[in-house]
Amino acid sequence: MSQLANYIAQKRQQKPILSMTHVVYGYPTVQESLSWMTRLLEEGVDFIEVQFPFSDPVADGPSIVEACHVALEQDLDVDSFLNDMGKLSRDFPDSRIVLMSYLNPMYRYGLQKLAKRAAEINILGLILPDLPIEASANYIAACKENQVDPIWLVTPVTPKARLEMLASQASGFLYCVARSGVTGHSSHEAKSKQTAMDEYLAHIKAHASAPMGVGFGLRERSHIEALLGKADIAILGSALLDAYNQGGQEAGIKLIKDLFQN
């Protein structure tokens, strides 16, 4: 079993659903983002999903786009980023860090090198939303070799056969996008169709042996409660960033407690 899936299975024995909180590296500054990550880990979140910013984040909505652009006003490089993550992962061995970025910065860094470095610093999952599985042969091989998991996404409009293929290929966990569109609130929201969540998740579960994480649009306790028994991880992204923007770390932590504490 993959190390990541193992970790999730063990943690799930104590908790009905695990928390994954998203943070943009370098927002508003590198130091402040590291302090925020530290705080989240101190509070005992199960995962942090750390996004290395890219200038053109096409799968993200306004909150995360803005954060990435602010972060990029500094010179960010992947090596220092990974060093910073390595330190966090040593300091907080009870939680896990998952890395998210768009393809180009990681492609420039080298996907082979990325997988190797990730393994060295105990980052067990990589999310690259604009790298489709069809174009991933080398990346998958590099991940296998280093025992880190490439995390694939499925969506409510992923065709049935493809969804089953992705579910069966999934290792670590499968990232189940909850609705059409980009992350967070955006002007595009009204155009997307509603998803019948229960059916969608049940269908995935029937085909996936890996644990399931659900993200996109989770903002309220009821959203998390609706996932109990149907998914393993609830991923909190833009809602957390919005709370952080409004009331700093305290507001962010309050949101997490409101959503996850029983």
Partner 1 sequence: MQSNNGFYGEFGGSYIPEILYASQQQILHAFEEIKTDPEFIAELKETWQNYSGRPTPLTFCKNLTEHFGGAQIYLKREDLNQSGAHKMNNVIGQALLVKRMGKKRVIAETGAGQHGVATALIAARLGLECTIYMGAKDVKRQYPNVFWMKQLGATVVPVAEGSQTLRDALDEALRDWSSSHEDSHYLIGTTCGCAPFPEMVAFFQSVIGEEVKEQSKAQFGQYPDRLYACVGGGSNACGLFLPFLEEENVEMIGVEAGGKGLELGQHSIRLSNGLGEKGIAQGFATMFLQDKSGQLQDTHSIAAGLDYVGVSPIIAHLAQIGRIQMTYAMDDEVIDACSLLLKKEGIIPALESSHALAGAFKDAANLPKESRIVINLSGRGDKDIFNVAKAMNDQTFPEFLEDYLADYKEHLNNDEEA
- Residues 46, 60, 84, 149: which is the catalytic one? 60
Q: Which amino acid would we find at residue 262?
A: N
Cβ atoms within 10 Å, residue 158: 18
Which CB, 1 or 135, lies closer to partner 1? Answer: 135
Tell me the closest approach of the beta carbon of residue 251 to partner 1, in angstroms: 24
Which CB, 56 or 250, lies closer to partner 1? Answer: 56
Strand order in the sheet with 174-177: 149-150, 125-127, 96-101, 47-52, 18-24, 233-236, 212-215, 174-177, 153-154
Tell me the closest approach of the beta carbon of residue 262 to partner 1, in angstroms: 32
Tell me the closest approach of the beta carbon of residue 169 to partner 1, in angstroms: 13
Is 60 among the catalytic positions? yes
Which CB, 105 or 252, lies closer to partner 1? Answer: 105
Placement of tokens 């990589």 in the chain: 126
Placement of tokens 């109990």 in the chain: 228
Tell me the closest approach of the beta carbon of residue 250 to partner 1, in angstroms: 28
Which CB, 78 or 259, lies closer to partner 1? Answer: 78
Nearest to 96 by CA among 177, 19, 152: 19
**20 within 8 A of 234, measured Cβ to Cβ:** yes
Tell me the closest approach of the beta carbon of residue 42 to partner 1, in angstroms: 30
**40 within 8 A of 86, measured Cβ to Cβ:** no
Which CB, 76 or 251, lies closer to partner 1? Answer: 76
Which CB, 175 or 244, lies closer to partner 1? Answer: 175
- Residues 46, 49, 84, 149: which is the catalytic one? 49
> What whole-number distance in Å separates Cα of residue 205 and Cα of residue 59?
24
Binding site for partner 1 (CB under 8 A): 54-62, 65-66, 69, 72, 75-78, 102-109, 129-132, 135, 152-155, 157-159, 162, 177, 180-182, 186-189, 191-193
Tell me the closest approach of the beta carbon of residue 216 to partner 1, in angstroms: 9
Pairing of β 233-236 and β 153-154 = unpaired
Catalytic residues: 49, 60
